[in-house]
């Protein structure tokens, strides 16, 4: 594909397109072959993370052993106090339009995006200290700069393992093609009238809304140069989204061949699970884990011969868990949920083996929400805490906790002696799904020890509204980010990921204080203060990885004792559809948001054994 463009004089030779010291990627199945199309599916414009995870690996990434290695950066170092990071770009890296990526891009981003109150009204935590002061940028040379923080920022490099498409949530980041962005920024454009006409023509309410939601997003703005292995030629569309090879990608294989191998990736819209599964069994999906369900494993296996593919299993980081809102506004439930022995009793009351057999044919592992065995932060004490099915112990604990009285229906009463113990478990899993079925089985077990729980399906927007307002009693939302929990800064373990609402009100207090009307200050002396103290004063400030992990295990020890969130099953196999002849994705890989799902293995190294057969 690219050789023809070079021959026609439309593209420089590969030696002029690569950096001086390109990244060397070693594929899982050796040196590949150029060409071919990789067919995938997606469920609409809102499904942006499917295409994005193919290309958003950033400054550093993980090797096969989960060690962090330089990617876009050639190297980095951090001061002993973890306040100053010295970052060195690979010399000669180019954007997809051939313009060199240098520290000039960082300087522009720092001045015109990070410090722009319209674009970054609340700032991006990644690029500020804990006290909300943005980093300071000092350029050393064209390829080297220092980013300094007022307070220690030991996990800074981990926060930049992803984000290589530029936009992170509602914020830009240092992956900023300033030569282009300055033409669409009112402070630097030479054509302010033309810029205003452009965002108004797009139907945006304001320039900043257009800039954040359209101009900065790689899949909404094909004109924006990018750094990833594939680029889009048209904005993401309703039916098909196409990504084509970036001729200036900065990495090579072990023999010096420029990556990626595959020329084109297509994402085809499906509007139902039935349509998606039909494409799978017809052989119309080449390689994909995203949207594939363990509940459809039997169907996938039965269709392998017809569809000319194999079903490859990875290890999912998610867990089946129930979050009791320890910060709930319901006073009686607040008192009930905050009794440690109540949480332990609920854990003992649920028959994990039964749910595992009935829903998953025994393929999952009974465990609490905790780092996976492959994780350097694995902690067996938490994994196995209170997981034995023991309803007798559950009843004794509930009786001893002051909840021995029951109504005529056998449901226990709160300590007022009148009100039945009853709460709603909200979730986004619809009727008839394995995810709903498992919750209903757990609810039946709770009823046997005198606790009434009811599952209520709500759509994602209403669910978000409820936890954001701290108007949620309990939830069934699995816990992930357990391969490398420190990379996303252990947001679930710290209680600051509100969509896993075991303490959303407390999390709002920790992050925003009284500025958030839904924030709830935890009781004085509560163990959550110890979790936050250990994180702030030991984990987040420690540059030494071994010491940092040791400190984090103190938090896991609190979890093993207090059981903030009740987990039931984990280590679920994740099925990926892999067409015969598609190379580079082996079984047993981690499947987690932090590690890019099925892109963990560096999708730039995936290839076809016979590309000519896969060009549609």
pLDDT tens profile 211-260 = 988 999 999 999 999 999 999 989 997 789 999 999 999 999 999 999 99
- Output DSSP code: residue 605: G
- Output DSSP code: residue 464: H
State the Cα–Cα distance between residues 105 and 294, nearest whole angstrom.
Answer: 43
Pairing assessment for the beta strands 287-288 and 60-62 based on DSSP bridges:
unpaired
- Whether the upstream peptide bond of residue 602 has omega within 30° of 0, thus cis, is no
Q: pLDDT category, 172, cuts 50, 70, 90?
A: confident
CATH superfamily label, 2-278+589-613: Periplasmic binding protein-like II (3.40.190.10)
Sheet containing 474-475: order of strands: 365-366, 566-570, 319-324, 474-475, 422-427, 452-457
Mean pLDDT across 321-343 = 98
Output the CA–CA distances (angstroms, integers) from residue 251 to 27, 70, 84, 90, in the order listed: 12, 11, 28, 10
Those residues whose C-beta lies under 8 Å from the C-beta of residue 2, and which sit 6 or more positions away, are: 11, 14, 245, 247, 258
State the Cα–Cα distance between residues 504 and 510, nearest whole angstrom.
Answer: 10
pLDDT tens profile 555-602 = 999 999 999 999 999 999 999 999 999 999 999 999 999 999 999 999
Q: Kindly list the domain boundaries of the chain, sorted by start residue.
A: 2-278+589-613, 319-570
Q: Which fold has domain 319-570?
A: Dipeptide-binding Protein; domain 3 (3.10.105)
pLDDT tens profile 410-444 = 999 999 999 999 999 999 988 888 899 999 999 99
Q: Specify the pLDDT at position 48.
A: 87
Phi, psi of 174 (to 5 degrees): -65, -10
Those residues whose C-beta lies under 8 Å from the C-beta of residue 164, and which sit 6 or more positions away, are: 55, 56, 57, 58, 59, 72, 175, 227, 228
CA-closest candidate to residue 456, choices 447, 466, 445: 466
Q: Specify the pLDDT at position 124.
A: 72
Neighbours of 67 (CB within 10 A): 10
Q: Please tell me the pTM assigned to this model.
A: 0.90
Q: By the 8 A CB rule, do 53 and 596 touch?
A: yes
pLDDT tens profile 64-112 = 899 999 999 999 999 999 999 999 999 999 999 999 999 999 999 999 9
Q: Specify the pLDDT at position 121.
A: 67
């Amino acid at each position: 594909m690219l050789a023809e463009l070079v021959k026609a004089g439309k593209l420089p030779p590969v030696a002029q397109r690569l950096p001086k010291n390109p990244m060397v990627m070693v594929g899982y199945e050796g040196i590949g072959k150029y060409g071919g199309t990789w067919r995938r599916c997606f469920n609409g414009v809102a499904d942006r993370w499917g295409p994005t995870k193919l290309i958003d690996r950033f400054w550093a990434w993980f090797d096969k052993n989960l060690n962090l290695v330089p990617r876009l950066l050639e190297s980095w170092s951090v001061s002993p106090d973890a306040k100053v990071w010295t970052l060195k770009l690979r010399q000669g890296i180019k954007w997809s339009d051939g313009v060199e990526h240098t520290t000039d891009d960082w300087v522009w981003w720092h001045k015109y995006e990070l410090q722009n109150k319209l674009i970054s009204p609340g700032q991006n935590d990644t690029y500020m200290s804990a006290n909300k002061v943005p980093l300071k940028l000092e350029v050393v040379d064209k390829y080297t700069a220092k980013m300094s923080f007022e307070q220690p920022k030991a996990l800074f490099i981990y926060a930049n393992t992803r984000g290589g498409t530029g936009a992170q949530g509602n914020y830009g980041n240092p992956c900023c093609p300033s030569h282009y962005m300055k033409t669409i920024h009112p402070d630097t454009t030479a054509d302010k009238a033309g810029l205003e006409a452009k965002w108004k023509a797009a139907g945006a309410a304001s320039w900043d809304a257009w800039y954040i939601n359209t101009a900065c997003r790689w899949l909404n703005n094909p004109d924006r140069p990018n750094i990833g292995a594939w680029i889009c030629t048209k904005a993401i569309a309703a039916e098909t989204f196409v990504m084509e090879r970036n001729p200036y990608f900065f990495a090579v294989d072990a023999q010096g061949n420029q990556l990626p191998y595959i020329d084109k990736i297509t994402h085809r819209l499906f509007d139902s699970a039935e349509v998606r599964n039909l494409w799978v069994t017809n052989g119309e999906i080449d390689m994909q884990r995203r949207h594939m369900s363990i509940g459809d494993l039997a169907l996938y296996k039965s269709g392998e011969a017809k569809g000319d593919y194999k079903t490859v299993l990875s290890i999912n980081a998610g867990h089946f868990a129930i979050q009791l809102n320890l910060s709930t506004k319901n006073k009686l439930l607040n008192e009930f949920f905050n009794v440690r022995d109540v949480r332990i009793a609920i854990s003992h009351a649920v028959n994990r083996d039964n749910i595992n057999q009935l829903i998953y044919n025994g393929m999952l592992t009974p465990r609490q929400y905790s780092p996976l065995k492959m994780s350097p932060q694995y902690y067996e004490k938490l994994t196995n805490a209170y997981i034995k099915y023991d309803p007798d112990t559950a009843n004794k604990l509930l009786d001893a906790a002051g909840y021995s009285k029951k109504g005529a229906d056998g449901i226990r009463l709160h300590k007022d002696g009148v009100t039945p113990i009853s709460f709603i478990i909200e979730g986004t899993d619809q009727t008839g799904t394995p995810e709903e079925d498992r919750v209903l089985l757990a609810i039946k077990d709770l009823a046997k020890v005198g606790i009434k729980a009811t599952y209520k399906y709500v759509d994602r927007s209403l669910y978000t509204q409820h936890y954001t307002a701290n108007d949620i009693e309990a939830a069934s939302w699995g816990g992930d980010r357990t391969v490398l929990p420190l990379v996303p800064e252990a947001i679930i373990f710290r209680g600051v990921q509100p969509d896993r609402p075991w303490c959303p009100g407390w999390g709002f207090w920790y992050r925003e204080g009284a500025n958030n009307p839904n924030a709830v200050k935890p009781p004085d002396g509560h163990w959550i203060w110890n979790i936050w103290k250990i994180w702030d004063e030991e984990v987040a400030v420690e540059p030494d990885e071994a010491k940092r992990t040791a400190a984090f295990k103190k938090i896991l020890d609190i979890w093993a004792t207090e059981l903030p969130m009740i987990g039931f099953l984990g280590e679920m196999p994740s099925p990926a559809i892999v067409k015969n002849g598609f190379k580079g994705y082996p079984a047993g890989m981690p499947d987690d948001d932090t590690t890019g799902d099925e892109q963990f293995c560096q999708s730039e190294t995936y290839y076809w054994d016979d590309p000519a057969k896969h060009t549609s």
